[in-house]
Copies of this chain bind each other. A is one copy, B any other.
Amino acid sequence: MNNDMTTPQRAVVLLSGGLDSTTCLALAQQQGYACYGLSFDYGQRHHSELAAAERIARAADLCAYKVVKLDLSGIGGSALTDPSLALPQQASAGIPITYVPARNTVFLAYALAWAEVLEASAIFIGVNAMDYSGYPDCRPDFINAFQIMANLATKAGVEGRTLRIETPLIALSKAEIIRAGLAAGVDYAATVSCYQADAEGRACGVCDSCRLRRKGFREAGIADPTRYIA
């Protein structure tokens, strides 16, 4: 346990290699947590995002870093894991086809398993309910429900310790996230947000994720360091 004042509390930080999770990691470190990075290789078509996560993890001062291979592609149902589904080029009404069924639930469940072994006191996830894509598993109500479930699921909960699901970005606009990240020393040139970045990590500039990112830098009044193909 890490309850004394001298040992930093541990946190598992979900790291996708994108703008949000990289900012989230920087904020967790700024808060003094000893951070354990966790990424997933889940058959995502934007594989250069995972390469970015690995670069960012190496550059950050992590206690440990783990890439877990997830067998989600067999479950299907998303344009992010099914190459036969086309990626949308513009915002749509409702939940978009890039939504991966129960993805954050699966990610957080794994993080919970690791957090339990580490006796971590928090899991950080860079979800955002402002400039987001309408995914149900990014909403504050979902995060709160997961935290309640997590504390019933685990030994820590039975023994009276509490695990928090920390979402420092949840109420921030993309522009505010970028400003907070720059203040915490994030190098956004290293992050990849695009759903279909090329092997060199260059972004398409037209997918939902690229559009949100571009808008964020524009609104923050900060030069966008992203390398765009178009």
- Residues in chain B near residue A153, CB distance under 8 A: 102, 104-105, 136-137, 142, 145-146
Q: How far is the CB of A144 from chain B (nearest CB, A)?
A: 8
Task: Name A156's closest neighbour in chain B (CB-CB).
Answer: B136
Interface size grouping (class) on chain A: 35 or more
Q: How far is the CB of A1 from chain B (nearest CB, A)?
A: 15
- Residues in chain B near residue A157, CB distance under 8 A: 136
Q: Compute how far the CA of A103 lies from the CA of B70 in the bound complex, rounded to whole angstroms.
A: 15
Query: Are A158 and B105 interface neighbours, CB within 8 A?
Result: no
Q: Compute how far the CA of A153 lies from the CA of B137 in the bound complex, rounded to whole angstroms.
A: 5
Copies of this chain assembled into the complex: 2
Query: Are A75 and B109 interface neighbours, CB within 8 A?
Result: no
For residue A76, CB closer than 8 A to chain B, the reply is yes
Which residue in B95, B106, B113 is a CB contact (below 8 Å) of A113? B106
Query: Are A145 and B148 interface neighbours, CB within 8 A?
Result: yes
- Residues in chain B near residue A74, CB distance under 8 A: 66, 68
Task: Name A152's closest neighbour in chain B (CB-CB).
Answer: B142
- Near B by CB (< 8 A), chain A positions 111-166 give 112-114, 116-117, 136-137, 139, 141-142, 145-146, 148-150, 152-155, 157-158
Q: Compute how far the CA of A148 lies from the CA of B66 in the bound complex, rounded to whole angstroms.
A: 29
Query: Are B154 and A136 interface neighbours, CB within 8 A?
Result: yes
Apart from A75-B114, A76-B117, A106-B109, what are 4 other A-B pairs with CB-CB below 8 Å?
Answer: A101-B113, A102-B112, A145-B148, A145-B149
Residues on A close to B: CB < 8 A? 66, 68-72, 74-77, 95, 99-106, 108-110, 112-114, 116-117, 136-137, 139, 141-142, 145-146, 148-150, 152-155, 157-158
Q: Shortest 3 CB-CB distances between A and B: which pairs?
A: A102-B113, A77-B117, A145-B149
